[in-house]
Amino acid sequence: MSSSTISTPVQADAPEDYPWTGQAVRSALLLAEGIVDLDPADAAAAPTEEQDRALVDIAAIEQALAAEGAAPLAERTLVVAVGSNQTPETIARKYARSGADVPIATPFVRCTVRGLAVGHCAHTSARGYIPAAPYRADGERMELVATWFDDAQLAVVDETEPNYERVRLDSSRFPLSLATGHEPGQFDVYASSWGVVAHEQPIPLRHQQQEMFDELVGITGSELLIGDAAEVCARLAAAPEALNSLVREHGLVADDGLPHGS
Protein backbone atom coordinates (compact mmCIF):
# COMPACT_ATOMS: atom_id res chain seq x y z
CA MET A 1 0.00 0.00 0.00
CA SER A 2 1.26 3.45 -0.84
CA SER A 3 0.73 6.07 1.83
CA SER A 4 -1.17 9.24 1.04
CA THR A 5 -2.03 12.11 3.35
CA ILE A 6 -5.00 13.44 1.42
CA SER A 7 -7.05 15.71 3.64
CA THR A 8 -10.68 14.85 4.34
CA PRO A 9 -12.52 18.16 4.82
CA VAL A 10 -15.84 18.24 6.64
CA GLN A 11 -17.20 20.97 4.35
CA ALA A 12 -19.10 19.43 1.44
CA ASP A 13 -18.39 20.15 -2.18
CA ALA A 14 -20.70 22.46 -4.13
CA PRO A 15 -24.03 20.75 -4.92
CA GLU A 16 -23.88 21.79 -8.58
CA ASP A 17 -20.66 19.75 -8.96
CA TYR A 18 -22.21 16.49 -7.74
CA PRO A 19 -21.28 13.57 -7.89
CA TRP A 20 -17.76 14.79 -7.03
CA THR A 21 -16.14 11.52 -8.16
CA GLY A 22 -14.27 12.65 -11.25
CA GLN A 23 -13.99 10.20 -14.12
CA ALA A 24 -12.03 7.42 -12.39
CA VAL A 25 -12.72 4.95 -9.60
CA ARG A 26 -10.01 4.03 -7.12
CA SER A 27 -9.21 1.70 -4.25
CA ALA A 28 -8.30 3.33 -0.95
CA LEU A 29 -8.31 2.91 2.80
CA LEU A 30 -9.82 5.70 4.88
CA LEU A 31 -8.04 6.13 8.20
CA ALA A 32 -8.25 8.74 10.96
CA GLU A 33 -4.99 10.30 9.78
CA GLY A 34 -5.91 10.41 6.09
CA ILE A 35 -6.37 8.24 3.02
CA VAL A 36 -4.07 5.43 1.93
CA ASP A 37 -4.01 4.66 -1.79
CA LEU A 38 -4.48 0.94 -2.48
CA ASP A 39 -4.12 1.01 -6.27
CA PRO A 40 -0.72 -0.14 -7.59
CA ALA A 41 1.10 2.49 -9.62
CA ASP A 42 1.30 0.16 -12.63
CA ALA A 43 -2.38 -0.84 -12.61
CA ALA A 44 -3.79 -1.19 -16.10
CA ALA A 45 -6.79 0.88 -17.14
CA ALA A 46 -8.79 -2.24 -18.04
CA PRO A 47 -12.00 -3.08 -16.13
CA THR A 48 -11.42 -4.77 -12.79
CA GLU A 49 -12.74 -8.13 -13.97
CA GLU A 50 -10.26 -8.13 -16.88
CA GLN A 51 -7.14 -7.57 -14.78
CA ASP A 52 -4.60 -10.39 -14.98
CA ARG A 53 -3.91 -10.14 -11.25
CA ALA A 54 -5.48 -8.91 -8.04
CA LEU A 55 -4.92 -5.17 -7.80
CA VAL A 56 -5.47 -4.96 -4.06
CA ASP A 57 -4.03 -7.23 -1.36
CA ILE A 58 -6.93 -8.21 0.88
CA ALA A 59 -4.51 -9.48 3.54
CA ALA A 60 -2.94 -6.02 3.72
CA ILE A 61 -6.41 -4.52 4.27
CA GLU A 62 -7.06 -6.97 7.11
CA GLN A 63 -3.70 -6.13 8.68
CA ALA A 64 -4.38 -2.40 8.46
CA LEU A 65 -7.81 -2.81 10.04
CA ALA A 66 -6.35 -4.91 12.85
CA ALA A 67 -3.67 -2.28 13.48
CA GLU A 68 -6.45 0.31 13.88
CA GLY A 69 -8.40 -1.95 16.24
CA ALA A 70 -11.21 -1.95 13.65
CA ALA A 71 -13.66 -4.70 12.74
CA PRO A 72 -12.34 -7.28 10.24
CA LEU A 73 -13.94 -7.69 6.82
CA ALA A 74 -15.93 -10.72 7.98
CA GLU A 75 -17.82 -8.45 10.41
CA ARG A 76 -18.58 -5.79 7.81
CA THR A 77 -21.27 -5.25 5.16
CA LEU A 78 -20.17 -4.88 1.55
CA VAL A 79 -21.92 -1.97 -0.17
CA VAL A 80 -21.42 -1.02 -3.82
CA ALA A 81 -21.73 2.75 -4.24
CA VAL A 82 -22.92 4.48 -7.40
CA GLY A 83 -22.59 8.19 -6.56
CA SER A 84 -20.50 10.30 -4.22
CA ASN A 85 -20.30 7.49 -1.65
CA GLN A 86 -17.63 6.00 -3.90
CA THR A 87 -15.12 8.49 -2.49
CA PRO A 88 -13.45 8.26 0.93
CA GLU A 89 -13.72 12.04 1.21
CA THR A 90 -17.53 11.89 1.10
CA ILE A 91 -17.71 9.12 3.68
CA ALA A 92 -15.27 10.96 5.97
CA ARG A 93 -17.55 14.01 5.85
CA LYS A 94 -20.56 11.86 6.73
CA TYR A 95 -18.78 10.35 9.72
CA ALA A 96 -17.67 13.79 10.93
CA ARG A 97 -21.09 15.41 10.53
CA SER A 98 -22.87 12.56 12.33
CA GLY A 99 -21.39 13.51 15.69
CA ALA A 100 -21.29 9.80 16.50
CA ASP A 101 -18.29 8.03 17.96
CA VAL A 102 -17.80 5.99 14.81
CA PRO A 103 -14.60 4.16 13.85
CA ILE A 104 -12.97 5.79 10.82
CA ALA A 105 -11.12 2.88 9.18
CA THR A 106 -13.03 1.98 6.01
CA PRO A 107 -11.79 0.07 2.94
CA PHE A 108 -12.83 1.08 -0.60
CA VAL A 109 -12.04 -1.19 -3.56
CA ARG A 110 -12.79 -0.73 -7.22
CA CYS A 111 -15.03 -3.35 -8.77
CA THR A 112 -16.83 -4.49 -11.90
CA VAL A 113 -20.54 -5.19 -11.57
CA ARG A 114 -22.74 -6.60 -14.31
CA GLY A 115 -26.47 -6.21 -14.81
CA LEU A 116 -26.50 -2.82 -13.09
CA ALA A 117 -26.32 0.73 -14.43
CA VAL A 118 -26.41 4.16 -12.82
CA GLY A 119 -28.96 6.89 -13.43
CA HIS A 120 -30.65 9.57 -11.32
CA CYS A 121 -33.00 9.35 -8.35
CA ALA A 122 -36.40 10.85 -9.16
CA HIS A 123 -36.09 13.15 -6.14
CA THR A 124 -33.61 15.83 -5.18
CA SER A 125 -31.26 15.70 -2.22
CA ALA A 126 -31.58 18.13 0.67
CA ARG A 127 -28.99 20.35 -1.05
CA GLY A 128 -30.92 20.46 -4.32
CA TYR A 129 -28.90 18.24 -6.64
CA ILE A 130 -30.32 15.18 -8.41
CA PRO A 131 -28.38 12.26 -6.93
CA ALA A 132 -27.27 9.02 -8.51
CA ALA A 133 -29.33 5.84 -8.28
CA PRO A 134 -28.74 2.31 -9.58
CA TYR A 135 -31.12 0.37 -11.79
CA ARG A 136 -31.21 -3.09 -13.30
CA ALA A 137 -29.79 -3.13 -16.81
CA ASP A 138 -29.21 -6.57 -18.28
CA GLY A 139 -26.05 -6.70 -20.36
CA GLU A 140 -24.51 -3.58 -18.82
CA ARG A 141 -21.13 -3.49 -17.08
CA MET A 142 -20.09 -0.76 -14.67
CA GLU A 143 -16.84 0.15 -12.94
CA LEU A 144 -17.77 1.26 -9.42
CA VAL A 145 -16.44 1.19 -5.86
CA ALA A 146 -17.34 -1.30 -3.15
CA THR A 147 -16.98 -0.35 0.51
CA TRP A 148 -16.91 -2.49 3.65
CA PHE A 149 -18.75 -0.79 6.53
CA ASP A 150 -18.91 -1.99 10.12
CA ASP A 151 -22.26 -1.77 11.91
CA ALA A 152 -21.68 1.70 13.38
CA GLN A 153 -20.45 3.11 10.08
CA LEU A 154 -23.36 1.56 8.20
CA ALA A 155 -25.85 3.12 10.62
CA VAL A 156 -24.34 6.56 9.95
CA VAL A 157 -24.44 6.15 6.18
CA ASP A 158 -28.01 4.78 6.29
CA GLU A 159 -29.08 7.96 8.11
CA THR A 160 -27.68 10.10 5.29
CA GLU A 161 -29.76 8.31 2.64
CA PRO A 162 -33.42 9.20 3.41
CA ASN A 163 -34.44 8.87 -0.24
CA TYR A 164 -33.02 5.37 -0.56
CA GLU A 165 -33.55 1.84 0.64
CA ARG A 166 -30.49 -0.33 1.13
CA VAL A 167 -31.24 -3.55 -0.74
CA ARG A 168 -29.28 -6.79 -1.06
CA LEU A 169 -28.36 -8.07 -4.50
CA ASP A 170 -27.37 -11.62 -5.34
CA SER A 171 -24.27 -11.99 -7.47
CA SER A 172 -25.95 -14.75 -9.48
CA ARG A 173 -28.02 -11.95 -11.06
CA PHE A 174 -25.55 -9.10 -10.62
CA PRO A 175 -22.05 -10.61 -10.92
CA LEU A 176 -19.46 -8.68 -8.91
CA SER A 177 -15.67 -8.79 -9.29
CA LEU A 178 -13.56 -6.96 -6.70
CA ALA A 179 -10.06 -5.58 -7.19
CA THR A 180 -8.96 -8.06 -4.51
CA GLY A 181 -9.67 -10.89 -6.95
CA HIS A 182 -12.72 -12.01 -4.99
CA GLU A 183 -16.28 -12.50 -6.29
CA PRO A 184 -18.65 -12.13 -3.31
CA GLY A 185 -21.96 -13.94 -3.38
CA GLN A 186 -23.98 -10.86 -2.43
CA PHE A 187 -23.69 -7.15 -1.78
CA ASP A 188 -25.86 -4.16 -0.89
CA VAL A 189 -26.71 -1.03 -2.86
CA TYR A 190 -28.69 2.09 -1.98
CA ALA A 191 -31.71 1.98 -4.30
CA SER A 192 -33.96 4.98 -4.89
CA SER A 193 -37.28 4.93 -3.02
CA TRP A 194 -38.69 7.23 -5.74
CA GLY A 195 -37.72 5.38 -8.91
CA VAL A 196 -35.25 6.69 -11.46
CA VAL A 197 -35.55 9.53 -13.96
CA ALA A 198 -36.27 8.10 -17.41
CA HIS A 199 -37.11 9.32 -20.90
CA GLU A 200 -38.26 6.09 -22.54
CA GLN A 201 -35.20 4.54 -20.87
CA PRO A 202 -33.47 5.55 -17.62
CA ILE A 203 -31.24 8.57 -18.21
CA PRO A 204 -27.62 7.59 -17.47
CA LEU A 205 -25.80 9.50 -14.74
CA ARG A 206 -24.56 12.88 -15.90
CA HIS A 207 -21.32 14.03 -14.35
CA GLN A 208 -22.45 17.66 -14.04
CA GLN A 209 -25.79 18.81 -12.65
CA GLN A 210 -25.95 21.50 -15.34
CA GLU A 211 -26.05 18.80 -18.01
CA MET A 212 -28.94 17.00 -16.31
CA PHE A 213 -30.89 20.20 -15.67
CA ASP A 214 -30.50 21.30 -19.30
CA GLU A 215 -31.58 17.88 -20.52
CA LEU A 216 -34.74 17.97 -18.41
CA VAL A 217 -35.51 21.51 -19.59
CA GLY A 218 -35.30 20.23 -23.16
CA ILE A 219 -37.76 17.45 -22.35
CA THR A 220 -40.21 19.32 -20.10
CA GLY A 221 -39.73 23.00 -20.92
CA SER A 222 -39.94 23.69 -17.18
CA GLU A 223 -38.66 27.06 -15.97
CA LEU A 224 -37.89 25.41 -12.63
CA LEU A 225 -34.64 24.01 -14.03
CA ILE A 226 -33.57 26.93 -16.22
CA GLY A 227 -30.44 28.80 -15.22
CA ASP A 228 -27.04 28.28 -13.69
CA ALA A 229 -26.75 24.94 -11.90
CA ALA A 230 -25.94 26.55 -8.54
CA GLU A 231 -29.11 28.66 -8.76
CA VAL A 232 -31.21 25.66 -9.79
CA CYS A 233 -29.85 23.58 -6.90
CA ALA A 234 -30.76 26.36 -4.46
CA ARG A 235 -34.24 26.55 -6.00
CA LEU A 236 -34.76 22.80 -5.67
CA ALA A 237 -33.39 22.75 -2.12
CA ALA A 238 -36.08 25.27 -1.18
CA ALA A 239 -38.79 23.13 -2.82
CA PRO A 240 -37.90 19.52 -1.95
CA GLU A 241 -40.84 17.89 -3.76
CA ALA A 242 -40.69 20.00 -6.92
CA LEU A 243 -38.43 17.77 -8.99
CA ASN A 244 -40.37 14.62 -8.15
CA SER A 245 -43.65 16.32 -9.03
CA LEU A 246 -42.22 17.56 -12.33
CA VAL A 247 -40.87 14.23 -13.53
CA ARG A 248 -44.02 12.38 -12.51
CA GLU A 249 -46.20 14.94 -14.28
CA HIS A 250 -44.25 14.30 -17.48
CA GLY A 251 -44.10 10.53 -17.13
CA LEU A 252 -40.35 10.56 -16.59
CA VAL A 253 -40.10 8.02 -13.77
CA ALA A 254 -39.23 4.34 -14.17
CA ASP A 255 -38.97 1.48 -11.71
CA ASP A 256 -35.37 0.54 -10.97
CA GLY A 257 -35.99 -3.20 -11.25
CA LEU A 258 -34.28 -3.91 -7.93
CA PRO A 259 -35.65 -6.05 -5.06
CA HIS A 260 -37.11 -3.45 -2.69
CA GLY A 261 -38.58 -4.71 0.55
CA SER A 262 -36.68 -7.97 0.36
The pLDDT, as a whole number, for residue 25 is: 81
**pLDDT 10s digit of each residue in the chain, 262 long?**
544 444 444 556 899 999 988 656 899 999 999 999 998 877 666 788 888 789 999 999 999 999 999 999 999 999 999 999 999 999 999 999 999 999 999 999 999 999 999 999 999 999 999 999 999 999 999 999 999 999 999 999 999 999 999 999 999 999 999 999 999 999 999 999 999 999 999 999 998 999 999 999 999 999 999 999 999 999 999 999 999 999 999 999 999 999 998 6
Residue 28 CA to residue 146 CA, distance in Å, equals 10
Q: Does residue 142 form part of some domain?
A: yes
The domain total for the chain is 1
Residue 87, domain member (yes or no)? yes
Determine the pLDDT at residue 5.
43
> Domain containing 102 — which CATH number?
3.10.490.10
Please report whether residue 4 resides in a domain.
Answer: no
Look at residue 262 and tell me if it is in a domain: no
Q: Which domain holds residue 223?
A: 15-254
1 within domain boundaries: no
Question: Is 6 inside a domain boundary?
Answer: no
| Domain-located, residue 132 | yes
Residue 39 domain-assigned? yes
Nearest to 86 by CA among 106, 57, 114: 106
